[in-house]
Amino acid sequence: MLRAYRSSDVAAAERPLLEAGVPLMERASFAVATVAARELKRRGHTVTGSRILILAGGGNNGGDALYAGAVLARRGAAVDILRAGDTVHEEGLRAALDAGARVLPEDHVATAARAAGLWIDGLAGLGLRPPLREPLAGLVTLLEQERDAAPDEPIVIAVDCPTGIGIDDGGLPGPALRATVTVAMAVPKPGLLAPPASRLCGRVEVADIGLAIAEPPAVATLTGADVADVLREPDESDHKYTRGVVLLGTGSPEYPGAAVLTAGGALGGGAGMVRLDSPEVAHLVLRSYPEIVLGMGRAQAAVLGSGVPVSDIERLRAPLDRALDEQYPVVLDAGALALLKDGYADLPSTAVLTPHAGELAELLAARGEGLTRQEIEAAPIRAVRLAATVTGATIVLKGSTDLIAGPDGPVYAQPARSHWRATAGAGDVYAGLLGALLAGVGEEISRAGHGYGQPALLAAAASWIHAEAAHSNGPIRAGQIADRIPAAIAGALHG
């Protein structure tokens, strides 16, 4: 699991080590220089003979970059230093100059940026409160223009974070310097995992500088190994009912395919049985999946609303009330979200809402929290947390990176592996898959009260599986994503 911590938690953990004289900056700069050398090699270059631009701001982030410049200059690189800030880390600057680096005159920035094959962004790190002020804002804008104009894009190594991003909230309130690789010191910070800031980070590498943080993470990303831990494999004591029954209240004459796709997601996700309570489209679903059973009945989880138009949502009220009364998990998608606009003031965390940004804006507006779709997209971590707090439910904000928040615990940020996933019906497949995961541990969830944390963890696991199943170098249909879920699960369980 990638665990991201707020900058204040990182600073608090660093303090005693710095007071004890632990050379954190030396370790950090060595990690940056190592990554820089490796990236040059990947492109067929050597450190010797390469031209490198060190962007040194006034804080310790600039210090890291200057010491990294010293290491690279000693290894034969031609290193130019851009002093951005009235003061820079003096020892770092001396080390770089002693190793043969040179300080650029101010009016040479554009020329030096164009000449360098690799830039090290040490303009600002954890101490930054965006948006950038002048002169940094102008400098970053100029560098971005130079990069766009360059025939060969330079490699940009961000020290700790791309300068300008919202480190703790994932926002992008102004200009920021996009990176090829971000070398996160000790731990990632929330903006490295969560959009929109995460889109500027390139590949995130974590440098072990010997710092451990005990606090719970603010944002986390599951890996395949975490998903394997979360899934319960059937054993000799299982039968279809213990595996979990998923009840679908999905699809309608207007959107019949949604019933097929949620059924595909639930069956692919390993439900012991899938029941369908949508008589008007039952025959269509049976044609694709003869495994499904028709009608209401006992269930360990329900999936409601995918492909149900607002004109028809009253039919979802009975299955929703039943899930809430019997305390089993329920996924509320599309049409079912409209049902929540009146009443249902206090939902349990076992109700999992799966809106995209537009649906989340409507849901929040109905609860007196006026956030536009654009505001949600600009600060989505804040929006999912807010939605979880005001509803009590678990929220999955679907997008290029799915963001998942429960009433407590971290926000999970699960990135897509391919943007071909953005196709009609992919969300329906997700809803069905999530239903299967929730049903498989449904009994455990109800027994542990409302199982805080657990539904969010399972929703994050479903996002990982969905992203894996949708991984593709070319177009993919939602039905194909459903078909590839079993292989994605097998891959998580058995590599």
Ligand X SMILES: NC(=O)C1=CN([C@@H]2O[C@H](COP(=O)(O)OP(=O)(O)OC[C@H]3O[C@@H](n4cnc5c(N)ncnc54)[C@H](O)[C@@H]3O)[C@@H](O)[C@H]2O)[C@@H](O)CC1
Ligand Y SMILES: Nc1ncnc2c1ncn2[C@@H]1O[C@H](COP(=O)(O)OP(=O)(O)O)[C@@H](O)[C@H]1O
> Annotated binding site for K(+), which residues?
61, 121, 163
Per-residue binding string, K ion, 69-108, x by CB under 5 A, is: ----------------------------------------
Q: Which is nearer to ligand Y, 385 or 466 (CB)?
A: 466
Is 226 a binding residue for ligand X by CB under 6 A? The answer is no
Distance of CA 361 to the CA centre of its chain: 20
| Side chain identity at residue 404, one-letter code | I
Per-residue binding string, ligand X, 135-154, x by CB under 6 A, is: -x------------------
Distance from C-alpha of 107 to C-alpha of 289, rounded to nearest angstrom: 68
Distance from C-alpha of 152 to C-alpha of 155, rounded to nearest angstrom: 9
Q: Which is nearer to ligand Y, 5 or 255 (CB)?
A: 255
Q: How many CA atoms lie within 13 A of 8 on its CB side?
A: 5
Residue 128's binding partner among ligand X, K ion, ligand Y, none (Cβ under 5 to 8 angstroms by kind) is: ligand X
In three-state secondary structure terms, 52 is strand
Site size with ligand X, rule: CB under 6 A: 26
Residue 385's binding partner among K ion, ligand Y, ligand X, none (Cβ under 5 to 8 angstroms by kind) is: none
The least distance separating ligand X from the CB of residue 121, rounded to whole angstroms, comes to 10
Number of H helices and E strands in the chain, helices first, is: 21, 18
The least distance separating ligand Y from the CB of residue 185, rounded to whole angstroms, comes to 29
| Side chain identity at residue 343, one-letter code | G
Residue 185's binding partner among K ion, ligand X, ligand Y, none (Cβ under 5 to 8 angstroms by kind) is: ligand X
Q: Which is nearer to ligand X, 121 or 402 (CB)?
A: 121
Indicate which single residue of 121, 226, 377, 428 sits in contact with K ion (rule: CB under 5 A): 121
Stretch of residues binding ligand X (CB under 6 A), selected from 124-132, 376-384, 450-458, 468-476: 124-132
Distance from C-alpha of 325 to C-alpha of 222, rounded to nearest angstrom: 31
In three-state secondary structure terms, 220 is strand
The least distance separating ligand Y from the CB of residue 470, rounded to whole angstroms, comes to 7
Residue-wise DSSP of 362-381: HHHHHTT----HHHHHHSHH
Q: Work out the number of other CB atoms within 10 angstroms of the CB of residue 282.
A: 17
Is 4 a binding residue for ligand X by CB under 6 A? The answer is no
Binding residues: 60-64, 121, 125-131, 160, 163, 258, 307, 356, 427-428
Q: Which is nearer to ligand X, 59 or 162 (CB)?
A: 59
Q: Which is nearer to ligand Y, 96 or 413 (CB)?
A: 413
The least distance separating ligand X from the CB of residue 161, rounded to whole angstroms, comes to 7
The least distance separating ligand X from the CB of residue 288, rounded to whole angstroms, comes to 52
Mention every residue, 6+ apart, whose C-beta is less than 8 A from residue 267.
274, 289, 291, 292, 432, 436, 482
| Side chain identity at residue 102, one-letter code | R
By CB atoms closer than 10 A (0-12, 13-18, 19+), residue 344 is middle
Interacting residues with ligand X between 397 and 426 (CB under 6 A): none
Residue 436's binding partner among ligand Y, K ion, ligand X, none (Cβ under 5 to 8 angstroms by kind) is: none
With tokens 């809402």, the residue in question is: 353
What is the signed CA dihedral for 325, 329, 335, 341, rounded to 10 degrees?
60
Is 330 a binding residue for ligand X by CB under 6 A? The answer is no
Is 345 a binding residue for ligand X by CB under 6 A? The answer is no
Binding residues for (6S)-NADPHX: 60-64, 125-131, 160, 258, 307, 356, 428
With tokens 């880390």, the residue in question is: 89
Q: Which is nearer to ligand Y, 75 or 417 (CB)?
A: 417
Mention every residue, 6+ apart, whose C-beta is less than 8 A from residue 180.
39, 155, 156, 157, 202, 203
Give the binding site for ligand Y (CB under 6 A).
356, 398-400, 402, 416, 419, 421-422, 424-428, 430, 466
Strand partners, 205: 183
Q: Work out the number of other CB atoms within 10 angstroms of the CB of residue 287.
A: 9
With tokens 């204040």, the residue in question is: 8
Residue 121's binding partner among K ion, ligand X, ligand Y, none (Cβ under 5 to 8 angstroms by kind) is: K ion
Q: Which is nearer to ligand X, 85 or 479 (CB)?
A: 85
Is 59 a binding residue for ligand X by CB under 6 A? The answer is yes
